[in-house]
Structure 1
Amino acid sequence: MPKPAATGPQRHGSASGEPIADTLTRDAAGVVLALRRISFLLERALESSYRIKAFRGAAATLGALGDEELAARASAGTLQDLPGIGKGSEAIAQAVLRGEEPDYLVQLEERESAPLARDGLDLAALQRGDLHSHSDWSDGGSPIDEMVMTAVELGREYQVLTDHSPRLKVANGLSPERLRTQLQVVAGVNRIVPDGFRLLSGIEVDILDDGSLDQEPDLLEELDVVVASVHSKLKMESAAMTRRMVAAVGNPRTNVLGHCTGRLVTGGRGRRPQSTFDARAVFEACAAHEVAIEINSRPERQDPPDDLVTLALELGCLFAIDTDAHAPGQLDFQQLGAERAWHLGVPAERIVTTWPRERLLEWAARR
């Protein structure tokens, strides 16, 4: 995994505190940094995935070149002969090699680098990790190492990789065999990440119609964190949905109840009403089993709704402020979840993502 470079949420958000322009070097590393920063800002703004994929692909292509070859191709005007390099990415590379900050990056910084949230920034700063994220092993847009580098750059102590489970074929859910292979990849990543950070193994496992979990029980026990979510039959009759969710929460392998209502309130996928269930019964089960209720930070979800967060708070539930990120830039969505939690009065000590890693792992393994 390459050494992390500054891609954080703000213009002055690099690990060393310098503006991004001051971290650009006139070589392949500087070009890659600029392209990654552009991708990050586009992702956190929920821009076109096609454009983002093009910039990240260009970063991979140019990053594979040596400094001498990159300079030679730039001088000869042959960068566009390389696969995935178009006018835009060539212009960015040429600017960096001249010692300039690319115009497109300057424009993005001005438009997109401000904090995503206005309130609750102190609570956002207390978040040590994120329990819900996806890679290109399922329906995420980037490889595991890119998600990890960005998590490190954002100052996380841990990031949980939670790709989907087998039944969610539309999201390329992981079979038991693929998940076992991924566990080996996670172990390999943890041998090279910086001190103070750890990639935790996990899954976003489907809650099946009867409340069972969509993965081999013994394999679930090998994971650090299990997020259980409903992805199908969201219009199930209320009593049946309640039984389904209570059963999943009662499963000793469940740590987090993900985006519990399944609603969509905005965005490109349109709107979707929330599922109906007896929230008091479900949240009482969460409190009894110490299962955290996810405050999903995605702008299009904002799940649970405010009234259900308030109910869960009254019932003594734990919470996890998660990004449900499907791209590196979306890891910054945690600000939005923290803002909602702050407005609703959720105390930091009840939010498991504020806990140190060892405490989190002890909680996750307790059952």
Structure 2
Amino acid sequence: MAVTATEAIDQLRRIAFLLERGRAETPRVRAFRRAAQTLADLPEEEFARRVGDGTLTELPGIGPSSAKVATEAYAGETAGYLARLEGEHGPLVSGGESLRAALRGDLHTHSEWSDGGSPIEEMARTARDLGHEYVALTDHSPRLKVANGLSAERLRRQLEVVRELNAELAPFRILTGIEVDILEDGSLDQDPELLASLDVVVASVHSKLRMPAADMTPRMVAAIANPLVTVLGHCTGRLVTGGRGTRPESSFEADIVFEACRRFGVAVEINSRPERLDPPRRLLRQAVEQGCVFSIDTDAHAPGQLDWQPYGCARAEECEVPADRVINTLPADELLDRFRERRERRAVRSSAR
């Protein structure tokens, strides 16, 4: 019995998600997502007619593979290609399952507003469907032009979009945020008043990654000491695999940086991207020993990558990261209260000097 086009669209999007999760080539992923969008824009009557007369491939963005998926789905079946992918894509990694189950959200994600590949709404709905209660939208700051970083004006417009989506998606919640560049002097690449209005500020080094440790250490500490910062992103900046090649770790005095994180209540990010897996195990263990708190994040730039948290959870478990020191196990309100109290304490200390 034939069903509506919605089932075909959902199966095409699921294929794109699984391919993305499995780190397939971007053009292959986009082909299925583009096909899904073409069908979503098509009147139901025309879709049914084209399935019947075999002319789906005459539509832009619909190739033989996506047409076959759509035809099988429209007939009320699970498309053969989707069934095969579902069978192939089991658990990403062994270990960390209990920690992954405890996570309530993801504090580092990107959308098409900077260098991500999908709209905010699609990222949010995918995070919700994965079982998250919240997701932080942390597109890049302005000086990272290669990533289409957000000017203050664009970020303000984005906040309006997030406000509207939160009204629609409640009780799921998009936390407002940014991945802000740590500049060479340790200052942050965005207007302080605007940063103060955000829920989450992930501070990361993206430039001059090879500067000497004697310069990198105070640069990082200055950012960590800023009361507006909540998470230290991918602290070494390394790349261990992937299309961008490899990159060595930045040099810094880890004991000083992690002590600053502990003292100022900034979470050390456990970045789950397979090409980063940052920090390395030896530094992750050191951060645990020094009493840091953590955030296990995907740094996702596409919907399928939102399911990469198991990589970070497995490494966290291996390095004996206590679940009660992972801040995104907290409900959103408790998490934001924690950030707010930290900012207020820092403001009081600063005014008393």
TM surpasses 0.5: yes
Equivalent residue runs for 1:32-71 within 5 Å: 32-71=9-48
Query: For 1:361 and 1:290, how far apart are their aligned partners in 2?
Result: 13
Contact (CA 8 Å) 1:28, 1:66: kept in 2 or not? no
Query: For 2:2 and 2:322, how far apart are their aligned partners in 1?
Result: 43
- AA aligned opposite 2:324: E
**Counterpart secondary structure, 1:132:** strand
Query: For 2:332 and 2:170, how far apart are their aligned partners in 1?
Result: 15
Equivalent residue runs for 1:88-167 within 5 Å: 88-112=65-89, 114-167=90-143
Could you tell me which runs of 5 or more consecutive residues in structure 1 were left unpaired when the two chains were aligned: 1-23
Equivalent residue runs for 1:70-85 within 5 Å: 70-85=47-62
RMSD: 1.2
User: What's the offset of the Cα at 1:25?
Assistant: 7.6
Contact (CA 8 Å) 2:240, 2:275: kept in 1 or not? yes
Query: For 1:180 and 1:194, how far apart are their aligned partners in 2?
Result: 21
Equivalence for 2:180? 205
Equivalence for 1:286? 261
Tell me which stretches of 4 or more aligned residues in structure 1 moved more than 3 Å.
none
**Counterpart secondary structure, 1:268:** coil
Task: List per-residue Cα deviations over 1:110-155 (Å, max 9, x = no partner).
Answer: 112x111211101110000000000111111111111011111001
**Counterpart secondary structure, 2:9:** helix
Aligned residues: 342
User: What's the offset of the Cα at 1:81?
Assistant: 2.5
Equivalence for 2:235? 260
User: What's the offset of the Cα at 1:236?
Assistant: 0.4
Structure (1 or 2) with the greater helix fraction: 2
**Counterpart secondary structure, 2:229:** coil
Equivalence for 1:231? 206
**Counterpart secondary structure, 1:191:** helix
User: What's the offset of the Cα at 1:68?
Assistant: 2.1
Decide which of 190, 203, 211 is 2:166's aligned counterpart.
190
User: What's the offset of the Cα at 1:69?
Assistant: 2.1
User: What's the offset of the Cα at 1:65?
Assistant: 2.3
TM-score, length-normalised on structure 2?
0.95
Decide which of 176, 192, 201 is 2:152's aligned counterpart.
176
Contact (CA 8 Å) 2:2, 2:75: kept in 1 or not? no
TM-score, length-normalised on structure 1?
0.91
- AA aligned opposite 1:282: V
Task: List per-residue Cα deviations over 1:30-77 (Å, max 9, x = no partner).
Answer: 011101110110111111111111111111110122332210121122
Query: For 1:63 and 1:72, how far apart are their aligned partners in 2?
Result: 15
Contact (CA 8 Å) 1:207, 1:228: kept in 2 or not? yes
1:349 aligns with 2:330: no
Identity %: 59
- AA aligned opposite 1:62: L
